Amino acid sequence: MNKSAERVVDLLILLSKKNAPLTLNEICSELSLPKSSGFELVQTLLFKGFIEMDDARLKTYRLGIGAFEAGIAYLSNMGIPHQARPLLQELNRLTGSTAFLGIEDKGKIVYLDKAEHHSEMRPTAKLGSRRFMHTTGLGKALLAALPTEKALSILGEGEIASRTAFSKVTVPDIMQDMREIRERGYSIDDREDHLEMYCIGSAIYDQWNLPVAAISVASMLSTITPEREAYIVQLVTETALKLSQQLGYSGDRLYLNH
């Protein structure tokens, strides 16, 4: 790999994950860079607009408009977030719970968008954050739609991490969960990623009938009744099928590979 390009990417990732602007010294410390190299890197990205000065007195830096524009261009080119946005908003309005959109990347579910204007309680998942596929409603919905070989490669051969005492942490348990998701047509995250949350999700398919994303609705566990769960299930599955068909999916139901 090109070392200079790697440092640029490392700096952008660092600033994207920090909740506060960083000084040059903090950047150099985090990336193990000589101060001279860090200064040149920061100045270049400042000039290009990918980072900007947050506080001139403290000399702290944050992501700039260039990084935002690049991210928006990526999402626009995907097409999925643009078409999903009004459907997420409608899910949020009808359920009073937060609706999410995510994709798989490097074995994790990445949160691309969320609608939470009408949510009584807002989950903590940030856009761009990564979570386990096997514990989240989003991740499980997409994992179950993938070929078994791909799902097993994501789980890996080592120890499977847990998020709560309810997380499934063995391959047989997770694969059984995948079979159940395929049978019923949606995923359930019952306190598996967060002890107070109950999530229902479904995979999204493209014009080649391949799973490319997932949507979910995350509710407080205390609000879930059998009637409310059935209502959310209907909305999530209908929305997932509608979005899939907008993307060119030719099927009339989800999870056909069981």
Residue type, 194: H
% of the chain with per-residue pLDDT over 70: 95
219: pLDDT strictly greater than 80: yes
222: pLDDT strictly greater than 90: yes
CB-based contacts of 50-59 (< 8 A; 24+ apart in sequence): 50/12, 51/11, 51/12, 51/15, 54/21, 55/21, 58/21, 58/23, 59/23, 59/24
The per-residue pLDDT for 75 is: 60
% of the chain with per-residue pLDDT over 90: 74
pTM of this structure? 0.72
The per-residue pLDDT for 208 is: 84
45: pLDDT strictly greater than 50: yes
Query: In the predicted model, what is the mean pLDDT of the chain?
Result: 91
The per-residue pLDDT for 159 is: 85
Helices 148-155 and 171-184: angle between axes, nearest 10 degrees:
140
The per-residue pLDDT for 194 is: 93
pLDDT, tens digit (0-9, with 9 covering 90-100), for 137-160: 999 999 999 999 999 999 988 889
The per-residue pLDDT for 170 is: 93
pLDDT, tens digit (0-9, with 9 covering 90-100), for 90-129: 999 999 999 999 999 889 999 999 999 888 776 667 788 8
The per-residue pLDDT for 258 is: 44
The per-residue pLDDT for 79 is: 75
